[in-house]
């Protein structure tokens, strides 16, 4: 398995655990226990049951007839938008809350940008009766009001991050600070395949249920258990990691990650990490990172809050480095058009994040007999205002 994590927590040159000494006990406790817990029968029983009865899995693999006709190929949509809370993020928070319980933790912290991971975390804390504190940039609190209200309704406390640009990376810094101060009773639920080892691997394992189901569903529908292409948008990279996971060792499957090209990769307003990034360390792991000459993190930009992150998970940096996966930028304009197209042709309004993956159909030029799976990471309800405003201004 040359694309999964090694014993030392690395994917090739990337990964590791670059953390302040005061975090060692927390991270080591998790590192020393996570595989034992995840692989136990008792954990798997609880995890599978909740995924089925609470989240609503398996999610359908839907043959998108009209998109397929338009692009003269076979397009299947993996419907993560149909999960409880509306996106793939709940797969991970269910997994982590079960780990936290088994580690005897009673207090949960999380960071959130758009609020989707915050909502998924607040949801599982309510489910398990655990205290929940979500750090969120003050600017994000103002622009993501419905999700802030959801978290409050679920009983979580939303704490504003007031430093820096008051967005996701500042919220993450606050969460790390909290964890350092509360090492005994607190588990930090990270929302993507980022952070120090073992988080990227743990989150990828929880999201891997996506590709596990795609395999079974394709076998049933078309008689072979792999597609020619898997397309997924990449913020930190958790939905992509989950959609790629069980195909990593099958070279017949082309893996394609779509990043936020924003207003254009050379405009100074994007989050196209593989093109613009250099090796650096952010939030505890070595990966590709958008940074200035002297190593300052560059403020990322995307119309979709979920892709607005200056780095990518170390697994994706490695997939890029080894050319096992391709990564391409999709601009705001391309994504918004694809969101409209998917709505009008399939009756499915995708999250703007997800629309970046759909947009790549324009460029892919797949053959009529080929099979393209798009991971439909989330639904667009949260984005309706943004969509409507965008098209009204055109």
Ligand X SMILES: *Cc1c(COP(=O)(O)O)cnc(C)c1O
| Residues acting as catalytic residues | 89, 111, 377
Range 356-385, binding ligand X (CB under 6 A): 377-378
**Of 208, 351, 359, 361, which one interacts with ligand X (CB under 6 A)?**
351
Pick the closer one to ligand X by CB: 74 or 338. Answer: 338
Minimum CB distance to ligand X smaller for 364 or for 376:
376
Helices (H) and strands (E) in the chain, counts: 17, 14
| Number of Cβ atoms within 10 Å of the Cβ of 44 | 13
Binding residues among 71-90 for ligand X as defined by CB under 6 A: 87, 89
Are the CB atoms for 310 and 279 separated by under 8 Å? Answer: no
Q: Report the distance separating Cα 11 and Cα 3, nearest Å.
A: 7
- Contact between 189 and ligand X by CB under 6 A: the answer reads no
Report the distance separating Cα 334 and Cα 22, nearest Å. Answer: 44
Q: Would you count residue 354 as binding ligand X (CB under 6 A)?
A: yes
Q: Is 92 in the site for ligand X (CB under 6 A)?
A: no
The token pair that represents 42 in the structure block: 């008792």
Task: Enumerate the H helices of 58-115 as residue ranges.
Answer: 65-71, 89-102
Q: Which stretch binds ligand X (CB under 6 A): 33-41, 60-68, 229-237, 325-333?
A: 229-237
Which of 239, 274, 285, 291 binds ligand X (CB under 6 A)? It is 239
Tell me: does residue 236 bind ligand X (CB under 6 A). yes
Stretch that binds ligand X, among 19-27, 103-111, 235-243, 329-337 (CB under 6 A): 235-243
Task: DSSP letter for 378, please.
Answer: B
Nearest distance in Å: CB 206, ligand X: 12
Whole-angstrom distance, CA of residue 44 vs CA of residue 215: 20
State which H helix or E strand residue 112 sits in: strand 107-112
Tell me which DSSP letter residue 299 carries.
P
Q: Is residue 55 at the binding interface for ligand X, with CB under 6 A as the rule?
A: no
* Distance of alpha carbon 51 from the chain centroid: 17
- Please identify, using beta-carbon distances, which residue of 240 and 358 lies nearer to ligand X: 240
CB of 276 to ligand X, least distance (A): 17
The residue number with the shortest CB distance to ligand X is: 378
Comparison of 74 and 134: residue with beta carbon closer to ligand X: 134
Q: CA-CA distance, 349 to 362, in Å (whole number)?
A: 18
Among 339, 340, 342, 273, CA closest to 301 = 273
**Nearest distance from C-beta of residue 367 to ligand X, angstroms:** 28
Per CB under 6 A, the segment of 42-50, 182-190, 317-325, 347-355 that binds ligand X is: 347-355
Residues from 290 through 309 that contact ligand X (CB under 6 A): 306-307
Cβ contacts of residue 70 below 8 Å, gap of 6+? 341, 345
| From 101-109, 164-172, 234-242, 333-341, span contacting ligand X (CB under 6 A) | 234-242
Residues for the chain: how many in total?
Answer: 394
Q: Answer yes or no whether residue 353 interacts with ligand X by CB under 6 A.
A: yes
Instruction: Assess contact for 267 and 275: CB atoms under 8 A.
Output: no
Applying CB under 6 A, does 116 fall inside the site for ligand X? yes
Contact status: 96 vs ligand X (CB under 6 A): no
238 counts as binding ligand X under rule CB under 6 A? yes
The structure tokens listed for 277 are 């990034």
C-alpha of 311 from chain center: 12
Sites of contact with ligand X (CB under 6 A):
87, 89, 116, 192, 233-240, 306-307, 351, 353-354, 377-378
């Amino acid at each position: 398995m040359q694309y999964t994590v090694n014993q030392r927590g690395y994917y090739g040159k990337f990964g590791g655990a670059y953390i302040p000494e005061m975090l060692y006990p927390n991270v080591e406790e998790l590192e020393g226990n996570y595989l034992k817990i995840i692989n136990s029968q008792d954990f798997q029983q609880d995890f599978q049951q909740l995924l089925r009865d609470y989240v609503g899995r398996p999610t359908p693999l839907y043959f998108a007839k009209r998109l397929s006709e338009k692009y003269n190929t076979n397009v299947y949509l993996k419907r993560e938008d149909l999960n409880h809370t509306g996106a793939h993020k709940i797969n991970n928070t269910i997994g982590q809350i079960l780990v936290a319980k088994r580690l005897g933790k009673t207090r949960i912290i999380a960071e959130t940008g758009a609020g989707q991971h915050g909502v998924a975390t607040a949801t599982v804390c309510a489910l398990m009766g655990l205290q929940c504190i979500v750090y969120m940039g003050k600017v994000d609190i103002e622009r993501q009001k419905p999700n802030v209200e959801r978290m409050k309704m679920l009983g979580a406390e939303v704490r504003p991050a007031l430093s820096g640009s008051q967005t996701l990376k500042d919220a993450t810094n606050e969460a790390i600070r909290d964890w350092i101060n509360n090492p005994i009773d607190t588990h930090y639920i990270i929302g993507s395949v980022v952070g120090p080892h073992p988080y990227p691997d743990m989150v990828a394992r929880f999201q891997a249920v996506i590709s596990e189901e795609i395999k079974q569903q394709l076998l049933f529908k078309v008689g072979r258990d792999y597609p020619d292409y898997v397309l997924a948008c990449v913020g930190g990279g958790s939905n992509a990691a989950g959609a790629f996971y069980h195909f990593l060792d099958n070279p017949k499957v082309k893996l394609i990650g779509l990043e936020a090209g924003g207003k254009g990769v050379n405009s100074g307003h994007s989050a196209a990490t593989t093109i613009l990034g250099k090796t650096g360390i952010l939030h505890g792991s070595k990966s590709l990172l958008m940074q200035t000459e002297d190593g300052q993190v560059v403020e990322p930009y995307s119309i979709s809050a979920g892709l607005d992150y200056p780095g990518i998970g170390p697994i994706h940096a490695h997939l890029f480095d080894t050319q096992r996966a391709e990564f391409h930028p999709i601009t705001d304009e391309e994504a918004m058009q694809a969101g409209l197209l998917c709505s009008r042709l399939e009756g499915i309004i995708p999250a703007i994040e997800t629309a970046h993956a759909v947009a790549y159909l324009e460029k892919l030029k797949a053959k009529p007999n080929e099979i393209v799976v798009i991971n439909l990471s989330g639904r667009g309800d949260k984005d309706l205002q943004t969509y409507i405003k965008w098209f009204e201004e055109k």
